[in-house]
Amino acid sequence: AQTVTQSQPEMSVQEAETVTLSCTYDTSENNYYLFWYKQPPSRQMILVIRQEAYKQQNATENRFSVNFQKAAKSFSLKISDSQLGDTAMYFCAFMKQAGTYKYIFGTGTRLKVLA
Amino acid sequence: DAGITQSPRHKVTETGTPVTLRCHQTENHRYMYWYRQDPGHGLRLIHYSYGVKDTDKGEVSDGYSVSRSKTEDFLLTLESATSSQTSVYFCAITRDREVEDYGYTFGSGTRLTVV
């Protein structure tokens, strides 16, 4: 069975600074997908970034990038130039490539961006 | 993005009463999911569906049932609500495997309180 661990329940960062959220996972699968979702106070779940395990290149989306270390089973999210609107709960999620596309979520990291 | 709506957005119910939550999609997506979100647990899968009348259990299915009689609707029923089922419930859909993007689209969630 797969597991996803987010070891930082809460973090804070100054506006315009850079912050890294950690995520580790355990799986015996070779092909899978990893995701970061953002949940602001509105409760809406928003896809931030996605990484395919077969791609060595780290995914980037504007100010968001990941450090994907497949051998170490690590998938951290880096937020550059943090903005007040980045204040949210962030969830890491794992999905096997084949099957019924079920997600395994981590427990989340609550990020607060300070003015 | 595919349209997905959940109803109701909030509900308070008494212990022992039946409750049905509705998820409705306006696209023709095959896969639909029900998750519950609790502090310290992230999101956990309750049930999912891979087609009309095709459903299966997730990791926290006890006390819940589902039905999918039409592609667009996926219902979650708590047969006899208990206080441990107080939670935020999310419905999600995803496109089929032929599409590159495997991210979920989430509904806006239902906050259920069982008193």
Pick A108 or B94 by higher pLDDT. Answer: A108
Query: Around A86, how many Cα atoms within 13 Å sit in the side-chain half-sphere?
Result: 28
Q: What is the pLDDT of residues A32-89, one digit of tens each?
A: 999 999 999 999 999 999 999 998 899 999 999 999 999 999 999 999 999 999 999 9
Question: Please, which pLDDT band fits residue B99 given cuts at 50, 70 and 90?
Answer: very low
Which pair of tokens denotes residue B4?
Answer: 């997905």
Cis omega before residue B18 (within 30°)?
no
Q: How far is B88 from chain A (nearest CA, A)?
A: 9
Please enumerate residues of B whose Cβ is less than 8 A from a Cβ of A. 31, 33, 35, 40-45, 48, 50, 56, 58, 88, 90, 92, 94, 97, 101-104, 106, 108-109
pLDDT of A25 over the 90 cut = yes
Q: What is the pLDDT of residue B101?
A: 66
Stretch B5-24: mean pLDDT: 97
Contact B106 A100 (CB under 8 A): no
Q: What is the pLDDT of residues B32-51, one digit of tens each?
A: 999 999 999 999 999 999 99
Contact B44 A47 (CB under 8 A): no
